[in-house]
Structure 1
């Protein structure tokens, strides 16, 4: 029985300066932890064959499938505002690309598959904990409807990796529309390689923004497209309380997907200044800073594209600034529309944004849980008696009482009935998110006890985030004080 991957490898056909050819490092005894069977089918792969011993060896990097052209991609990046001219895939190897059932091209990448020329003295491996975290959170994001890389499989390697202490090693098979980043453009721009920037831009246009090819100014249209997708993506993050944690330019995907889940987290109590990442000591990537940082990262992309805009630098800068000026409008449109939907508003009226912001301010002052407030508000839209369950989330319930009078007056101005409104609100206000204490409990059980039952159950719950799921109601609860996770870690 042979596992077949119908590879079509366009990135590996680019010039040699774009990557390093390198094979995964074989591991001792791969053991399949989890295979995402629906995703495998979507990719045109046979899940039964992937579940075989041969499949586990491929997913661990011990065996290279036919048609693969393994490469580590080159890129640079600003890390916490400081430019590093060469980063690259230091522990990830792109096996190749496949065309999925929808006709979309998807990368298949092994993360934690051994050292590459970009490893910078690292071991190129991944520990089990970060692999499980990325699997859980990326699949939760997909179920929430947010553009994201996906997780096809998690495999234990049978080897230990040394971090603060020896930890079980693992490999994640990551699926992406592509792994091209803002930092990929920076890699060539920093070297003065305008032709490299052009080749990369042409590749990205063909792969992600084909409509730009027919525009009067294709590279302007490319930047415009990336700006629009990033603006919408960050708005979606904020609407579910997600904090990426490390929004470096090398972690900013050109395709508009969420990528590189390291110290990411979902907020419990609403706090615009919230930071979880242990390495973000200055709060650069705090929850409310994410739109500003996205624009900063996009400005770095625009700088790379300037030589493609026109020969006169001042004119090129002016044109780029004009396009970057669209970010705020695009972000605000997506974010404000999302807030209206979360509040059960079907029309747009003056004062709606202020109504939403007043609720958020009240939540921040009263330390109300972000996810539960909006979910319970969905039920309160059906029955005013259910206001009680919302106000209980506020340290000062009176602030909710004052706000709810205005909210009920506003929804009363629309023709939709309570049932329609509740249904609409529940479709955007999740009951379940990957709460940090739940993720940590899953990792602890797997790493310390080789128990993956909590991992499987959490994935089951998160696959249907907008449904009530009474059997798993406890997963919607915020952490008790002793369960709160105050910091998250990259795990590299």
Structure 2
């Protein structure tokens, strides 16, 4: 394969000696049809130069990348699922395939979903439905466009198998997904070591995570390192939660095994984007009590952080961990105000000033029930009061002339646009934003399922990419 100078393999976890992994084999699929390759993400890690045949060899057949892991590694972890502890988890249909550095010297993982059985499959087939892969590709694309710190869908390859699932029409097609992430070390990784009372391994894991992902903390030693690491994770996780909330995103399954140590959104099964402001919206049909409803996500995240703190108390003092936990609410509120302004492309003035603005906005949105009105609000008012005429004359203009809109329109006048030049882009001459509502996903999946017609899928990705470029909210890399 032609190797780019940007390709910098660094299989760190494989050489760490930490008791976190099991070597596994990838499934031997009867077919490998490339459906999606993310060349933007591939360029970040020096793999864009791969031909399609080479791409399939590595990400469909899992031939090792040069100087990288010699075998896939399934990660061991436990977790709380809907707040019930489960010690029988672990990578049941995925593995860590490779690790490498990007141009900013950050360690990145290539991990899989649907790559076959592992010791942690619990009787499952280790496979992923093609529809599940399509949904994840779409979710990560739009979340990145909306400024959410998310894993990147790197590759989707159809595998030629027929699967039976109780929650969608069967038989259904299968696929293997590869995602590019900053880390696959989960809160549940720490839970497993705490459950087993593995003090030495916990100490070593904390050191590994700090040195690898939080190098600014490397000078800390002993219990102080555990405290400093947890404090940093609390801050980053508070920021991630605000990104979900301002994207109108409902994760669906906010279990401790679905949250990682670098505060990166990942692993998209059931999810939803708000069609309109609906605090009680749930994404998973089995979330009958609404535990992970849209408005309850900050509480769910705080609960999960509490479990991580309990794990770290195995090697650290409780009080500093409690102090960091108690700081979550204020950090979340501060980050929420900043993220709200970022979504609106306005200059933040401070949490105390932003809070009335946000409250006024959500009061206004409570009366808007048309599909797309949640994301439409951020699109219509992008740039603040500079976009007032555009908002009032657009398809959602009626929302902004109701009595509940008076306070928002009065308050938004006090904010300057953060980047007024963005408003001159063609994106803001159109009437609607890019959205990914449930019915839209079903509409583009139908021609794939019936006629193997992928045109709507690729058109939606192109639309989202234009939205990403226009908003300018995503991190570079």
Matched with 2:475 is none
Q: Please tell me whether residue 375 in structure 1 is matched to residue 379 in structure 2.
A: yes
Distance across 2 between alignment mates of 1:468 and 1:160: 39
Distance across 2 between alignment mates of 1:265 and 1:94: 27
User: CA 1:83 to 1:418, structure 2 compared with 1: closer, same or farther past 3 Å?
Assistant: closer
User: Once superposed, what is the RMSD of the aligned Cα atoms?
Assistant: 2.8
CA distances 1:120-149 after superposition (whole Å, capped 9, x unpaired): 000001110011111111122223332111
Structure 1 position 443, deviation (Å): 2.3
User: CA 1:342 to 1:161, structure 2 compared with 1: closer, same or farther past 3 Å?
Assistant: closer
Q: Please tell me whether residue 31 in structure 1 is matched to residue 36 in structure 2.
A: no
Match of 1:120 among 119, 122, 125: 122
Matched with 1:179 is 184
Distance across 1 between alignment mates of 2:419 and 2:12: 51
Distance across 2 between alignment mates of 1:228 and 1:147: 14
Distance across 1 between alignment mates of 2:74 and 2:308: 21
Matched with 1:138 is 140
Please state whether the residue corresponding to 1:175 is helix, strand or coil. Answer: strand
Q: Please tell me whether residue 227 in structure 1 is matched to residue 227 in structure 2.
A: no
Matched with 1:202 is 207
Distance across 1 between alignment mates of 2:392 and 2:193: 57
Distance across 1 between alignment mates of 2:458 and 2:368: 34
Please state whether the residue corresponding to 1:47 is helix, strand or coil. Answer: coil
Structure 1 position 379, deviation (Å): 7.1
Distance across 1 between alignment mates of 2:296 and 2:60: 37
Please state whether the residue corresponding to 2:381 is helix, strand or coil. Answer: helix
Matched with 1:328 is 329
Query: Which stretch shifts more, 99-108 or 84-93?
Result: 99-108
Please state whether the residue corresponding to 2:190 is helix, strand or coil. Answer: helix
CA distances 1:350-406 after superposition (whole Å, capped 9, x unpaired): 554123212202211343611112221237723654453468465794224523552
User: CA 1:383 to 1:148, structure 2 compared with 1: closer, same or farther past 3 Å?
Assistant: closer
Matched with 1:254 is 261
Query: Which stretch shifts more, 244-253 or 134-143?
Result: 134-143
Distance across 2 between alignment mates of 1:417 and 1:331: 22
Q: 1:363, 1:394 within 8 Å by CA — same for their partners in 2? A: no
User: CA 1:15 to 1:266, structure 2 compared with 1: closer, same or farther past 3 Å?
Assistant: same
Q: 1:23, 1:93 within 8 Å by CA — same for their partners in 2? A: no
Structure 1 position 222, deviation (Å): 0.4
Distance across 1 between alignment mates of 2:64 and 2:106: 23
Distance across 1 between alignment mates of 2:120 and 2:348: 50
User: CA 1:71 to 1:346, structure 2 compared with 1: closer, same or farther past 3 Å?
Assistant: closer
Query: Which stretch shifts more, 91-100 or 438-447?
Result: 438-447
Distance across 2 between alignment mates of 1:121 and 1:158: 21
Give the gaps of 5 or more residues in structure 1: 310-315, 470-492
Structure 1 position 44, deviation (Å): 1.2
Matched with 2:175 is 170
Q: 1:373, 1:393 within 8 Å by CA — same for their partners in 2? A: no
Structure 1 position 235, deviation (Å): 0.7
Matched with 2:246 is 239
TM-score by length of structure 1 reads 0.85
Match of 2:367 among 357, 365, 369: 365
Matched with 1:279 is 286
User: CA 1:279 to 1:221, structure 2 compared with 1: closer, same or farther past 3 Å?
Assistant: same
Q: Please tell me whether residue 265 in structure 1 is matched to residue 267 in structure 2.
A: no
Q: 2:80, 2:256 within 8 Å by CA — same for their partners in 1? A: yes
User: CA 1:423 to 1:272, structure 2 compared with 1: closer, same or farther past 3 Å?
Assistant: farther
Matched with 1:475 is none
Q: Please tell me whether residue 293 in structure 1 is matched to residue 300 in structure 2.
A: yes
Match of 2:443 among 429, 441, 444: 441
Structure 1 position 417, deviation (Å): 10
Give the gaps of 5 or more residues in structure 2: 472-477
Please state whether the residue corresponding to 2:262 is helix, strand or coil. Answer: coil
Q: 2:2, 2:49 within 8 Å by CA — same for their partners in 1? A: no
Query: Which stretch shifts more, 36-45 or 370-379?
Result: 370-379
CA distances 1:94-123 after superposition (whole Å, capped 9, x unpaired): 112112232221111121010000000000
Give the alignment of 1:139-154 within 5 angstroms.
139-154=141-156
Q: Please tell me whether residue 59 in structure 1 is matched to residue 63 in structure 2.
A: no
Distance across 2 between alignment mates of 1:406 and 1:23: 61
Matched with 1:192 is 197
Matched with 1:474 is none
Q: 1:382, 1:421 within 8 Å by CA — same for their partners in 2? A: no
CA distances 1:324-366 after superposition (whole Å, capped 9, x unpaired): 1111111111101223445535434855412321220221134
Please state whether the residue corresponding to 1:172 is helix, strand or coil. Answer: strand
Q: 2:392, 2:400 within 8 Å by CA — same for their partners in 1? A: no
Distance across 2 between alignment mates of 1:260 and 1:356: 29
Matched with 2:466 is 464
Q: Please tell me whether residue 398 in structure 1 is matched to residue 399 in structure 2.
A: no
TM-score by length of structure 2 reads 0.88
